[in-house]
Amino acid sequence: MFPKTSTPRWIIILIDLLLSAFSLFAAYIVRFDLKADKALWLAEWEILSKSIIIFFVVRFLTFYFFKIHKGMIRHTSTVDFRRLFIAVTTSSVIFFALGLVRYFFVDGYFLFPSSVLIMEYLICVFLVTVSRFTIKLWYLESVKTKEEQVRVLIYGAGISGLIAKRTIERDVLINFKVVGFLDDNRKITGTRIEGVPVFHTASLEQILKDEAITQVIIAIQNPEEENQARVVELCLDAGVEVKKVPSPRSWINGEFSARQIAQVNIEDLLGRKPIVLNQDKIAEELSGKVVLITGAAGSIGSGLVRQVARYNPQLLVLLDQAESPLYELQLEIAQDFPDCAIEIVMGDIRNQSRMEQLFAKFRPAWVFHAAAYKHVPMMEDNPSEAVWTNIKGTSYLVDLAIKFETYKFVMISTDKAVNPTNVMGASKRIAEMVAQQAGSLHKTQFITTRFGNVLGSNGSVIPLFKKQIEQGGPITVTDERVTRFFMTIPEACQLVLDAGVMGNGGEIFVFDMGQSVKIVDLAKNMIRLSGLVLGKDIEIKYTGLRPGEKLYEELLNESENTLPTHHPKILKAKVRDVAPEQASQIEQLIQQVGSIDNMQLVGLMKAIVPEFISNNSEFSALDNN
């Protein structure tokens, strides 16, 4: 066992001087090729004896001056090695200088022959470096935990990967062995970094088997989403644990600790390559403008706030009725964007007079309308609330945007508005129609964005699954056939911004969301990412479709088609115009909400949206008439 107390400083000095003496002796041995006779040694000693004291004094003083003895050898760092190198070099230069003095002013001899001086320098540097490295290695091995060794593969052979390797090897409380690096760059495949081989991701499946890898750590800070997803999938299929190095912003005082290595999120598995936005165009549109964001404390709303704050708006007005989340958002923006002027407004979009006061005071040039009720089962039980907020509230904002000459009004919609099977989806489709009709009649440009489920948003399936996993299960899935489109919050917000910039009014923009995901597969992957085994550690329970719920979602209905835009991932839906009778029916719906029962209310919604066919709901009776 390695001693727990520090070695006395005088012992370190003595060892370094003994290594120096051995270096000098070895240099003489090499000089004479091990063939010198006794007479030659005596002659050489006659010259050396007059300078050996100087050798030890100079070496001691330089080591002492550079504080070689101060560092703890078991924790020797590159800074300590550099100090050692400078100290030995300095003493050798002094030897050479004193040798010149002796040669020209004393007895015509150098302190040491030039060949000896050079060899002693090289040998001494080698010995003091190796001695410290050996002691450090001995210490690290002696304090390593005796638990079974975890064989680790680091994904990313760049700076972050190298930092992860060094951090893992330095942590004495974990018994990890870095077997290799994994990287997408074929040019460095087959090379070694600090003695560790670099493999290409194409050979990952074989490497996991051959090297008996038990954990893969993702160290790339901005990986290609498709490559990362493939790596995670292969690891999960092989039963290998996957973790990742957090963003440097979360490192404590700029230092990364092995304890910060975290579990991979399901978002990392589902993420795709983000949309590349025209930053200059967005900055030109938003900079110096008053921007109103409704539903600012929600998932999409707060994501929009963070994005818009980057573009130096004149004023960012944050509207929501959720007090605590809005307060937390205020603190976050004040910290992350201290130069961004913000105005916090507590209010309900259904309060017409309150909204008029807001528009009259701030006169926003841009409105991003994210406030809405979005939970399908809740709105199926409370249709009047869906109409009040999603339709009537939107109508108030649309009218005020026209009255106060807002430049652009961007409405956030949902894929559930397409061929709706529930009240929530139908209410969002009617809200789309309200904005669509207004855009055809007035100067304000009304633009709609339509996308699927947002990963990690409030009330979405992923936070629910995480909570159920933490509680030991079961995970509840409505039907094993259910599929959904998914996107990340940043992706959704980027779509909204880009649509707002490119839109001229009246458009509905949809996002190419790739392949839909089976919810049951999502649950299984989350179980595996948590290190659990389905059927052993946790179960999946099927509960049946909820009222109004679809097996799958759509982004367009059969009567709509798309037109390309400047970005291949963003399409423009070509939708039907709002007929005069539909506009009249929408006005009737808004006026009668609260005065008629739910069945009559939903009946009016179905008249406005003929494709609204209820699924597994009491309102299905209306479809049989």
pLDDT single digits (tens) 54-74: 887 878 888 777 776 565 555
In this prediction, residue 1 has a pLDDT band, given cuts at 50, 70 and 90, of: very low
pLDDT at 372: 93
Kindly tell me if the per-residue pLDDT of 558 is higher than 60.
no
Question: Which of 28-37, 218-227, 334-343, 439-448 has the lowest average pLDDT?
Answer: 28-37
Percent of the chain with pLDDT over 70: 82
DSSP 143: H
Mean pLDDT of the chain: 81
pLDDT at 254: 47
Give the separation between CA 305 and CA 453, rounded to whole angstroms: 19
Kindly tell me if the per-residue pLDDT of 23 is higher than 50.
yes
pLDDT at 525: 83
Which range among 119-128, 279-288, 329-338, 576-585 has the greatest average pLDDT? 329-338
Q: Which residues touch 561 (CB under 8 Å, ≥6 apart)?
A: 573, 574
Residue 167 and residue 150 in contact, taking contact as beta carbons nearer than 8 Å: no
Alpha helices, H only, 69-178: 78-105, 114-143, 159-170
CA torsion, ordered 204, 205, 211, 215, to nearest 10 deg: 80
HEC string of 193-213 equals ECCEEEEEHHHHHHHHHHCCC
Give the separation between CA 453 and CA 553, rounded to whole angstroms: 10
- Taking the alpha carbons at both ends of the chain, their separation in whole angstroms is 86
Token pair in block for residue 300: 């999409």
| CATH assignment of 279-619, among 3.40.50.720, 3.40.50.300, 3.40.30.10, 3.30.360.10 | 3.40.50.720
Q: List the Cα angle 434/439/443 in 5-degree steps.
A: 140
Catalytic residues: 416
Instruction: Please tell me the chain's helix, strand, coil percentages from 3-state DSSP, rounded to the nearest 5.
Output: 50, 15, 35
Domains 150-264 and 279-619 share a fold: yes
Kindly tell me if the per-residue pLDDT of 562 is higher than 80.
no
**Please, what is the angle between helix 9-31 and helix 114-143, to 10°?**
140
Residue 547 and residue 617 in contact, taking contact as beta carbons nearer than 8 Å: yes
Supply the CATH classification number for the domain 150-264.
3.40.50.720
Which range among 209-218, 493-502, 596-605 has the greatest average pLDDT? 596-605
Bridge partners of residue 199, in order along the sequence:
182
Residue 605 and residue 426 in contact, taking contact as beta carbons nearer than 8 Å: yes
Produce one character per residue of 454-483: b if its CB has 16 or more CB atoms within 10 Å, e if not: bbbbeebbbeebbebbeeebebebbbeebb
Give the separation between CA 58 and CA 35, rounded to whole angstroms: 30
Average pLDDT over residues 11-27: 79
Q: pLDDT tens across 487-535, in order?
A: 778 778 887 888 888 888 888 888 776 677 888 888 888 888 777 888 8
Which range among 183-187, 191-195, 368-372, 556-560 has the greatest average pLDDT? 368-372
pLDDT at 33: 64
Question: Which of 83-87, 124-128, 439-443, 550-554 has the lowest average pLDDT?
Answer: 550-554
Parallel, antiparallel, or unpaired: how do β-strands 453-454 and 192-193 relate?
Answer: unpaired
Domain boundaries, the chain: 9-143, 150-264, 279-619
